[in-house]
Amino acid sequence: MAIGPFLSHDAGYVHLLSTDNWAVDDYYAVLATTTETPNVGTQIDYEDILAECADGDYDQVALAGKAVAEEADKVRFDCDKITFGASVSITARYLYILKGTAATPVNADEIIGHIDLDGAANISSVNAEFSFDPAATEGLFEVARTAAP
């Protein structure tokens, strides 16, 4: 299993870095199966996620503990561990982050980015915890300092 990096989706990332407020606005996580075809340029909003997880124990999860901090030469966007359940049976490959409310997602909720949880296939929990904990050293994702050309 090789967890991939956070890959930003163009439109949502532009809004996050220009007009949105990561620490204040509502964001949530969505799981999709291996039949999803992530595309950072053309997947814009919730309705573009066609293979969302359909397991009975699954539901979208609101991000908690969101923070933005300067870390050396980067700006770190972080959140608490994203837990889909402590004793659940869920199968998924991709974790998407969207702007909106988890309890009432709408088709126009913008995708900020996604993470490939395995690199090759679905991963599963069977009556176990299914979660994603952003790395302590990088957070959910980072934006590097700009450099002179």
Which of 59, 143, 140 has its CA nearest to residue 97?
140
Which of 91, 89, 88 has its CA nearest to residue 117?
91
Q: Give residue 131's pLDDT band: very low, low, confident or very high (50, 70, 90).
A: very high
Which residue carries 């309705």 as its tokens?
47
The rounded distance, in Å, linking the Cα atoms of 65 and 120 is 30
Please check whether residue 2 lies inside any domain of the structure.
no
Domain of 73 in residue numbering reads as 7-143
Give the pLDDT confidence score for residue 63 in this predicted structure: 98
The rounded distance, in Å, linking the Cα atoms of 32 and 95 is 7
Q: Tell me: the pLDDT tens digits for 2-17?
A: 689 999 999 999 999 9
Give the pLDDT confidence score for residue 128 in this predicted structure: 97
Please check whether residue 27 lies inside any domain of the structure.
yes
Please check whether residue 149 lies inside any domain of the structure.
no
Q: Tell me: the pLDDT tens digits for 83-108?
A: 999 999 999 999 999 999 999 999 99
Give the pLDDT confidence score for residue 16 in this predicted structure: 94
The rounded distance, in Å, linking the Cα atoms of 75 and 138 is 9
State the amino acid at position 65 in one-letter form.
G
Give the pLDDT confidence score for residue 71 in this predicted structure: 87
Please check whether residue 81 lies inside any domain of the structure.
yes
Please check whether residue 148 lies inside any domain of the structure.
no
Which residue carries 């395995």 as its tokens?
118
Q: Tell me: the pLDDT tens digits for 21-65?
A: 999 999 999 999 999 999 999 999 999 999 999 999 999 999 999
Give the pLDDT confidence score for residue 45 in this predicted structure: 98
Give the pLDDT confidence score for residue 1 in this predicted structure: 53
pLDDT at 146 over 90: no
Please check whether residue 108 lies inside any domain of the structure.
yes
Q: How many domains does the chain have?
A: 1
**pTM of the entire predicted model:** 0.95
Please check whether residue 43 lies inside any domain of the structure.
yes
